[in-house]
Chain A
Amino acid sequence: DAKTTQPPSMDCAEGRAANLPCNHSTISGNEYVYWYRQIHSQGPQYIIHGLKNNETNEMASLIITEDRKSSTLILPHATLRDTAVYYCIVRSQGGSEKLVFGKGMKLTVNP
């Protein structure tokens, strides 16, 4: 079972920041927070991951609370192409640990 909780959907205006929340209250010390997204009928795309520090890359920023029980994915300037299902996943350390997907959150970016 997925160890994360996300709202089922969210809307965002094009050009604005999209803040996608995720709760992972049972996360353990060696588990990372991963974010993926899936554009309709394509394979999931890796976005970012982190352990306890905030992370930023060319796609997004990841803010993890100090108690690590929740996190927020930030898309700083959402575009129409960011419309997708976003998955927040916790995964243990070690590259072979499986990714368990939940239902994710559908982000719709509106013009």
Chain B
Amino acid sequence: ETGVTQTPRHLVMGMTNKKSLKCEQHLGHNAMYWYKQSAKKPLELMFVYNFKEQTENNSVPSRFSPECPNSSHLFLHLHTLQPEDSALYLCASSLVTSGSTEAFFGQGTRLTVV
């Protein structure tokens, strides 16, 4: 248990569906991240939020829409996805300080697009 909780753990959706992934942490962290991990590939950073503001978008297609309403919650809204978007989606959080701190990851949402 890392303190970062992702729901749902598994999701199957059609290409015309709209769904959302949820991530929450109660660690007092103020930076949150979305990563994508496709089969047999390294983790790819998608989005970074610092103090609820998006500070990085790694050229992610607009069919992925993040939302960070507060420092404890992060969402990834999905619409009109493609089968190649099937992957493990991981959320992480960390504490912004002047020193070094580790990031903690959730267990991920396994997404299958059919």
Contacts and interface: CB of A to CB of B under 8 A. Distances in A.
B99 A93 contact: yes
A34 to B, nearest CB: 7
B103 A99 contact: yes
A68 interface: no
B42 A96 contact: no
B34 to A, nearest CB: 11
Question: Main secondary structure on chain A at its contact with chain B?
Answer: loop
Q: Chain B contact residues (Cβ within 8 angstroms of A): what range?
A: 20 to 34
Contacts of B12: none
A39 to B, nearest CB: 11
Contacts of A81: none
A95 B49 CA distance: 12
Contacts of A21: none
Q: How large is the interface on A (under 10, 10 to 19, 20 to 34, 35 or more residues)?
A: 20 to 34
Contacts, number: 69
B50 A96 contact: yes
B92 interface: yes
In this complex, the member of B2, B100, B107 whose beta carbon has the largest number of chain A beta carbons within 10 angstroms is B100
Given A45-B2, A102-B42, A104-B42, A94 B96 contact: yes
Given A41-B108, A43-B105, A45-B2, A95 B94 contact: yes
Interface of A: 2, 32, 34, 41-46, 49, 51, 91, 93-96, 98-104
17 contacts: A2-B42, A41-B110, A42-B108, A43-B2, A43-B90, A43-B106, A44-B92, A46-B102, A46-B104, A95-B31, A95-B95, A96-B48, A96-B50, A96-B94, A98-B45, A99-B33, A99-B45
Interface of B: 2, 4, 6, 30-31, 33, 35, 42-43, 45, 48, 50, 55-56, 88, 90, 92, 94-108, 110
